[in-house]
């Protein structure tokens, strides 16, 4: 069976654009959280978000008209362009019929729905044109990326909320192993929106100032936005072309809590199944895991449930494995979150460095694992696990490992 390598990474995030900038800022503990700029938050209890700043779609979109694209589609195309550039691949030199895209998202293009709602509320539906239909459906994120790059292979969008990026990576890996493609772009994209913000505000889930995963005083998550795309290709092909190989996709595990629309299983059973399945699929013993990228949203229940689940899977080894949550810096980028976190795992493997969990000043005694508080750490990373636990009980764990050359 084909082995699958990660050879390119592109990211659009609240702390910067591109692999080098984002990784440097993660290691330095830079955060992108601040007052919401894209809409008025005066009706909400909280006013903080993690938005992408100074993004210009025209810097990345050359085939399509940027005005015809929603913001999440613009992010996806930009991240895809950056990933291919990072991999040393020119889209014009790729076998287009054997190149595919697998993207995750939570909301698709909610800003387009907001425009419709505004027109409806103003009694001005006549102003809504047919172009709305070409902007808002979530499948357009992948199809527009394919059109921009002329990738004519498998094209899929997986809308499993904040586990979607890991789902997309899992699907793309399966496509490559089944020899249905020779190159896959896999990742996730979501844009900041009033709809998403309103939903989390209604759940009283948004923190008033900082995202503080695993801290005793944590008060919630911070909504964010962004995109990440990973270039995946057969390992033997990557070796033949002497590509930089950040990591190998060793395996994945998927599960559903079948418990609650927004709350996770209090015993973490679904998370446990996802992690155990990923370990089994990758032929990895729990003692061999070097690093875990936590879902780590900063909510009371998530962080506690995740700690319980990790202990159940790893036993005593759980206390020896460094774990961190980059949502403390990026906020929760929704469908992009696990894609960004998987990319970060690949970079941790490649550089043998682990980014911190910032704002972790007073550890919760019930969350008593090593959460790499506030300072990045040099650490040999042979195997990394990226965990994502989404609304709807969708759980996805992806395991990446080092490739020795």
R_g over Cα of the chain: 20
Q: Cα(313)–Cα(308) distance, rounded to whole angstroms?
A: 9
211 is catalytic: no
Which one of 31, 167, 171, 332 is the catalytic residue?
332
Q: Does residue 259 have an active-site annotation?
A: no
Q: Which candidate, 137, 155, 136, places its Cα nearest to that of 145?
A: 155
Helix, strand, or coil (residue 229): strand
Q: Which of 138, 162, 211, 367 is catalytic?
A: 162
**What is the longest distance spanned by two Cα atoms in the chain?**
64
Q: Please identify which of the residues 295, 345, 350, 367 carries the catalytic annotation.
A: 295
Instruction: For residue 385, give the 3-state DSSP assignment.
Output: strand
CB atoms within 10 A of CB 277: 18
Please report which helix (H) or strand (E) contains residue 185, including its range: strand 183-190
> Could you give the CA distance from residue 369 to residue 389 in angstroms, rounded to a whole number?
18
Rounded to an integer, what is the distance from CA 214 to the centroid of its chain?
20
| Active-site residue flag, 332 | yes
d(CA 110, CA 87): 31
The strand pairing partners of 363, in sequence order, are: 215
Mind telling me the catalytic residues? Answer: 162, 295, 332
């Amino acid at each position: 069976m084909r082995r699958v390598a990660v050879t390119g990474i592109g990211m659009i995030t609240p702390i910067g654009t591109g692999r080098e900038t984002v990784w440097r800022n993660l290691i330095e503990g830079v955060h992108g959280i601040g007052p919401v700029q894209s809409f008025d938050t005066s009706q909400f209890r909280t006013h903080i978000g993690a938005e992408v700043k100074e993004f210009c779609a025209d810097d990345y979109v050359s085939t399509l008209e940027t005005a015809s694209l929603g913001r999440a589609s613009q992010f996806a195309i930009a991240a895809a362009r950056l990933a291919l550039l990072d991999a040393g691949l020119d889209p014009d030199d790729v076998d287009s019929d054997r190149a595919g895209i697998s993207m995750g998202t939570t909301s698709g293009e909610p800003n387009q729905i907001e425009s419709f709602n505004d027109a409806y509320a103003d009694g001005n539906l006549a102003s809504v044109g047919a172009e709305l239909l070409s902007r808002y459906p979530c499948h357009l994120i992948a199809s527009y990326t394919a059109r921009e790059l002329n990738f004519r292979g498998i094209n899929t969008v997986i809308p499993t909320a904040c586990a979607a990026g890991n789902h997309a990576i899992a699907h793309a890996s399966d496509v490559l192993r089944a020899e249905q493609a020779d190159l896959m772009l896999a990742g996730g994209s979501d844009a900041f929106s009033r709809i998403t913000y309103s939903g989390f505000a209604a759940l009283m889930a948004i923190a008033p100032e900082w995202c503080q995963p695993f801290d005793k005083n944590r008060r919630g998550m911070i909504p964010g936005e962004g995109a990440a795309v990973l270039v995946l290709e057969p390992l033997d092909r990557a070796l033949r072309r002497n590509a930089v190989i950040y990591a190998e996709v060793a395996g994945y595990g998927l599960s559903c809590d079948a418990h609650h629309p927004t709350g996770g299983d209090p015993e973490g059973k679904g998370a446990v199944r996802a992690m155990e399945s990923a370990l089994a699929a990758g032929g990895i013993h729990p003692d061999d895991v070097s690093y875990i990228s936590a879902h780590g949203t900063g909510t009371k229940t998530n962080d506690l449930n995740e700690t319980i689940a990790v202990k159940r899977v790893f036993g005593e080894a759980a206390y020896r494995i460094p774990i961190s949550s980059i949502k403390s810096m990026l906020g929760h980028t929704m469908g992009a979150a696990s894609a960004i976190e998987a990319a970060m795992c690949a970079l941790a493997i490649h550089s043998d460095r682990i980014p911190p969990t910032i704002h972790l000043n007073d550890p919760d005694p019930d969350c008593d694992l090593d959460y790499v508080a506030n300072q990045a750490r040099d650490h040999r990373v042979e195997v990394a696990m990226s965990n994502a636990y989404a609304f709807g009980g969708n759980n996805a764990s992806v395991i990446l490992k080092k490739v020795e050359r």
